[in-house]
Chain A
């Protein structure tokens, strides 16, 4: 399934790397439910969020500057950062 990482820039403890925001990838696997670090980091009662591994191509992330376009990066992204692409 194709997903896009939301291009949001909120303040706080965010575990969605800047270089992946706004990029489209493919869900590699579902990992399960985890405490949302955006609340956890501040000792607020954390909501449980789905965590998924998303696979991005180097071409998608770096465009023409990609070292090898077909190489990939996989990262864990919380589902509330993802939208259908």
Chain B
């Protein structure tokens, strides 16, 4: 039992079988210190309240890939919406009721001829206002540099093999636009309702490193 005595073995596993994580007793970085200082000053001087900051964090945390899945599922089941989405994905998402703020969104469609994948080589631009926070690997130097050099190899490491007669199209989010991939609809799902279709749409399929999957 880990907490029965004081000098227990720190290499031991938790009851759930995972190693204990070290406490993050590290010195704050320059930018962490800067963020805390500016936030506390803004609150102290009455420009914003702590509750507003917390609400904003909650709003961002409440956004998830499920929002994007609903957008994709509707595009699969409603040709008019699909055409609106490919024309202006930001407006189409707003018209569905999603609060995506001022985000400019472009939807890129996978077909039998083209496979799209999204990366931000300069930083970590991601359609956060629709899909929530990006996965950690999306921000890694390896993903950001390799995806523009050897996208097929990167995709194969995600378990996605692209046939040689399909063009890979890498979208580098270098400036003001954000991107969502509209994956090709799996044949097995033809005729399903938009609600059922949404369960097939994975986060990775909207970044382009995955394909839609049958719900577990």
Contacts and interface: CB of A to CB of B under 8 A. Distances in A.
B174 A76 contact: yes
A75 B174 contact: yes
Given A67-B150, A67-B151, A17 B170 contact: no
A77 B176 CA distance: 10
Interface string B154-189: 000000000010011111111111000000000000
Interface string A10-51: 000001110100000000000100100100000000000001
Nearest to B115: A71
A15 to B, nearest CB: 5
B145 to A, nearest CB: 9
Given A15-B122, A15-B175, A76-B176, A67 B170 contact: no
B152 interface: yes
Interface residues of A, number: 22
B1 interface: no
B121 interface: yes
B94 interface: no
B38 interface: no
A68 interface: yes
A75 B172 contact: yes
A83 interface: no
A29 B107 CA distance: 13
Given A31-B104, A76-B175, 15 more contacts: A34-B175, A34-B176, A67-B149, A67-B151, A67-B153, A68-B152, A68-B168, A71-B152, A72-B167, A72-B169, A73-B171, A73-B172, A74-B170, A75-B174, A76-B173
